[in-house]
Amino acid sequence: MKDLSKIKAIVVTHVTISIPSNSEVYGQCHAIADFLKQNAKELIFIRHPLNGLYYSRAELFADNKAEVLKIIKTKTKGIMRYGMDILSTTLVVFFKKGKWDLFIGVNSLNSFSGLILKWLGKVRYVIFYTADYVPVRFQNEFMNNIYHWFDRLCIKKADFVWNISRAQVEIRKKQGMPERKNIYVPHGIFTKRVHPQPLEKINRHSFVISANLSKAFHYGLIIDAFKNVVGKVSKARLIIIGTGESAKEISRYIRANSLEAHVSMLGWMPHDKLIDFISHCGVGLAVYTSQCSWTNFSDSFKAKEYLGCGCPVIISGATAAIEEIKASRAVIVADQDEDSLCAAMLKFLEDEHFYVSCRENAINFMKDLDWQRIYSRGLSFLHYN
């Protein structure tokens, strides 16, 4: 049996770098790292960028101090980059003195590095943290087969598999995973960091989107629906937070629809500032495109943050995420069309009793989804081994 405060842990992940802010998009990997910074004795946090424009980064956190660790610097792309990520992770940990209690790899490629290090005697437990599960991750059949080979290997060899949705848990059951290894670890919030505002202090007529503005961002549908909303409720405001390759295109679309007075693009925000800002907004939008197959199996990080901040949510195109939050009674599930999305927005704007009830439900729902509780449950095996 080992107390968490004595644990030496490693978290390895791939991260999205928001362009042009050159900043990491906060996600579950940062949440588990933040949890371990607060609760573990030592933490190595390694992040590999998802594109070849940036270098990987490794840091050691101990005694409230951060130390940058040496790591291979490469801007190689494609399959070669993935190989270099495995190699660089392995080398960083291998050349650190001592044995590490816990290795958490976000997705299978990073978990594979943990399995190598366990074989080398450098780590005791490996957790495969499933960020997403996608039947067709790559259109290239060869690459897709490699993706599933790593996935199968990691669920077989890792000590535990963390799944962010019930849909993922069911997939793992079908893959023959023992129940003791198949752990449900849904997205949450740090409740001590989130401060929902009283009704009189929020921008009641605002809709907020926090997103990486990539080509996958379904801005046309959202803005077209919102334009119809403005025609009926002139106080309505749409706030888009984030940066990405589509930002200029979205800005032009806003101008083309003469919505500059109603739609604001605020760019990237540090996560703490983002959470505070959302806490002053009215409704969160989590509109996903069904073309991204991961939405059929994953939880929605942004939807959980909206709810935690007191914002009811309009969600569409994310089958598993909808199942994760519908019990909150703070959600409208919209179809992926302009009329349905417009109707959902107007419902929140025009029905005050419904809105207030949803807001209260959102806050209460997320009280039970504190990252401290979620990760403590996920790591409870440390107390019995």
Evaluate if residue 99 carries a pLDDT over 90: yes
pLDDT average, residue stretch 124-149: 85
223 neighbors 254 (Cβ within 8 angstroms): yes
Evaluate if residue 212 carries a pLDDT over 90: no
Evaluate if residue 216 carries a pLDDT over 90: no
Task: Report the C-alpha gap between 113 and 119 in whole angstroms.
Answer: 10
For the stretch 143-176, pLDDT in tens is 888 888 999 999 999 999 999 999 999 999 999 9
Evaluate if residue 106 carries a pLDDT over 60: yes
The pLDDT > 90 percentage for the chain reads 76
Average pLDDT, the chain: 92
Evaluate if residue 200 carries a pLDDT over 80: yes
Tokens of 306: 């909206």
Burial 284-303 (b: 16+ CB within 10 A, else e): bbbbbeeeeebbbbbbbbbb
Mean pLDDT lowest among 114-123, 213-222, 238-247, 361-370: 213-222
pTM: predicted TM-score of the whole model, two decimal places = 0.93
Q: What is the pLDDT of residue 294?
A: 61
Q: Is the pLDDT higher at 163 or at 218?
A: 163
pLDDT average, residue stretch 109-116: 97
Task: Report the C-alpha gap between 36 and 117 in whole angstroms.
Answer: 20
Task: Report the C-alpha gap between 377 and 187 in whole angstroms.
Answer: 13
**Residue 328 half-sphere exposure toward CB, CA atoms < 13 A:** 34
The SS3 assignment for 377 reads helix
Q: What is the pLDDT of residue 141?
A: 83
Tokens of 296: 């059929």
User: What is the edge-to-edge ordering of all strands in the sheet holding 283-287?
Assistant: 263-267, 237-241, 206-210, 283-287, 313-316, 331-333
Q: Give residue 210's pLDDT band: very low, low, confident or very high (50, 70, 90).
A: very high
Checking 178-183 for CB contacts under 8 A at 24+ apart, the result is 181/155, 183/378
Q: What is the pLDDT of residue 308?
A: 97
Q: Is the pLDDT higher at 2 or at 302?
A: 302
Q: What is the pLDDT of residue 286?
A: 92
Q: What is the SS3 assignment for 196-258? A: CCCHHHCCCCEEEEECCCCCCCCHHHHHHHHHHHHHHCCCCEEEEECCCCCHHHHHHHHHHCC
Q: Give residue 214's pLDDT band: very low, low, confident or very high (50, 70, 90).
A: confident
Residue type, 174: K
Q: What is the pLDDT of residue 368?
A: 92
Evaluate if residue 138 carries a pLDDT over 90: no
Q: How far is CA 199 from the centre of its chain?
A: 27
Tokens of 52: 């070849």
Evaluate if residue 295 carries a pLDDT over 70: no
377 to each of 5, 108, 186, 278, how far by Cα in Å?
A: 15, 22, 11, 28
Q: Is the pLDDT higher at 274 or at 214?
A: 274
Tokens of 208: 């907020």
pLDDT average, residue stretch 54-60: 94
Evaluate if residue 184 carries a pLDDT over 80: yes
312 prior amide bond cis, ω within 30: no
Alpha-helix runs per DSSP H in 95-180: 108-119, 141-157, 166-174
Evaluate if residue 1 carries a pLDDT over 50: no
Q: What is the pLDDT of residue 181?
A: 95
Task: Report the C-alpha gap between 361 and 159 in whole angstroms.
Answer: 36
For the stretch 226-256, pLDDT in tens is 999 999 999 999 999 998 888 899 999 999 9
pLDDT average, residue stretch 267-290: 92
pLDDT average, residue stretch 58-75: 93
Q: Give residue 384's pLDDT band: very low, low, confident or very high (50, 70, 90).
A: low
For the stretch 309-320, pLDDT in tens is 999 999 998 778
User: Residue 368 gets which letter from DSSP?
Assistant: T
Q: Give residue 385's pLDDT band: very low, low, confident or very high (50, 70, 90).
A: low
Between helices 247-256 and 219-232, what is the axis angle to 10°?
Answer: 30
Q: What is the pLDDT of residue 79?
A: 81
Evaluate if residue 76 carries a pLDDT over 50: yes
